[in-house]
Amino acid sequence: MSSPTGPASGLPVRMPRPRQPGRHRRPEPVAAPEGAPALVLAVPGAPSTTTRSLAEEVVSIARSELPGLDARIGYVDGEEDATVTSFPEFPSLTSVLAHAAAERAARVEQARAAGAEVAEPEGPVAVVVPLLAGPDSALMRRIRQAVMDSRVAAELTDVLGPHPLLAEALHVRLSEAGLARADRARLFTVATAADGIVLATVGGDEAVQAAGITGMLLAARLAVPVMAAALDEEGAIAATAEQLRGSGSAQLALAPYLIGPELDSALLDAAAKEAGCSVADPLGPYPAIGKLALAKYTTTLGITPQQPSGAPVH
């Protein structure tokens, strides 16, 4: 059973990187301020052990980037816990927020009982970061409603993309599937490399437009055309594939612009088959996902650790 604050027992935990000696050492990361709000990762989709493992890896990456970070996981379709004293295996976002508020109140009462003069805490109890690469209005409405239902002072951030780091992550997933060169700088070819990419997303027109921005960044990395299409719109993937073929692309790949929990794998497989495309894995717990989740948190609170930036794939 997982806890709302960390991985299940026995899972590896990312530790903060040791500070390197010398004149060219990297800046030492800023630690989370004492009493800082919790980062609560809002995980969409049906809860499962696979989803939990992915979410725990994301928060582990965030903790390694900001020591002392209180990071928790709440599931949009999780189990409610009215008592807020113990947690089910997949706690709902509402329950996790209520638990965070109860813990903060208990700390204040404990300090006062010990004779300390403690003012009522200011600021949000938590910053809620949706585990979504692109906008999905239906899911965001549900996340916003869960925050309201918790009756907890919490800030809800925007989704993680578009961002150059997500283009990097897509490049890596394509290269892992043998559908793109791993390194643009080395002059070698991959026999199965795609000469056109369909970027699959969910969430309607707004999601397709946002994916298109990251798609332009991916096209610049790979020097091949990239077009975004809605996975949840019947025939959209196949139509986009035909459009790419009409413009000269012969070997296509389908790249999910999705992290994983929000993805219907059966829908992805069916769309790839219909379009005649090879398919890469979803983004999953790529390190950029944890870094971008942390960046949403720190930007909301005005904390300034080392900011994530895009980098070539080697």
Is the domain of 151 the same as that of 233?
no
Q: What pLDDT digit, counting tens, does each position of 244-261 carry? A: 999 999 999 999 999 999
Name residue, tokens 């918790």.
150
In a domain, 225, yes or no: yes
In a domain, 94, yes or no: yes
In a domain, 44, yes or no: yes
In a domain, 50, yes or no: yes
Tally Cβ neighbours within 10 Å of residue 301.
17
Is the domain of 268 the same as that of 185?
yes
**Start-to-end CA span in the chain (Å):** 37
- Nearest CA among 170, 230, 173 for reference residue 200: 230
Is the domain of 152 the same as that of 228?
no
In a domain, 4, yes or no: no
Q: What pLDDT digit, counting tens, does each position of 59-111 carry? A: 999 999 999 999 999 999 998 765 545 567 899 999 999 999 998 888 767 76
Per the CB < 8 A criterion, the answer to whether 93 and 146 are in contact is yes
Between CA 93 and CA 197 the distance in angstroms is 35
Is the domain of 206 the same as that of 191?
yes
In a domain, 3, yes or no: no
pLDDT average, residue stretch 236-244: 97
Provide the pLDDT for residue 7.
42
Q: What pLDDT digit, counting tens, does each position of 155-175 carry? A: 999 999 999 999 999 999 999
Provide the pLDDT for residue 120.
65
Least confident of 7-16, 142-151, 236-245, 246-255: 7-16
In a domain, 251, yes or no: yes
Is the domain of 149 the same as that of 224?
no
* Residue 69 structural domain: 38-161+288-301
Q: Is the pLDDT of residue 237 over 90?
A: yes
pLDDT average, residue stretch 212-233: 95
Provide the pLDDT for residue 105.
81
Residue 48 sits in a domain of what CATH number? 3.40.50
Least confident of 82-86, 129-133, 238-242, 302-306: 82-86
183 falls in which pLDDT band (50, 70, 90)? low
Is the domain of 170 the same as that of 257?
yes
Is the domain of 228 the same as that of 155?
no
Is the domain of 204 the same as that of 152?
no
Q: What pLDDT digit, counting tens, does each position of 9-36 carry? A: 444 445 555 555 555 455 555 788 878 8
Per the CB < 8 A criterion, the answer to whether 43 and 74 are in contact is yes
Domain count, the chain: 2
Is the domain of 76 the same as that of 222?
no
Q: Where are the beta strands (DSSP E) in 52-103?
A: 71-75
Residue 231 sits in a domain of what CATH number? 3.40.50.1400
| φ and ψ of 266, to 5 deg | -65, -40
Name residue, tokens 């996981």.
73
What sign for the dihedral angle of Cα 80, 83, 88, 90? positive
Least confident of 36-45, 78-87, 219-228: 78-87
In a domain, 102, yes or no: yes
Looking at residue 123, its amino acid is: G
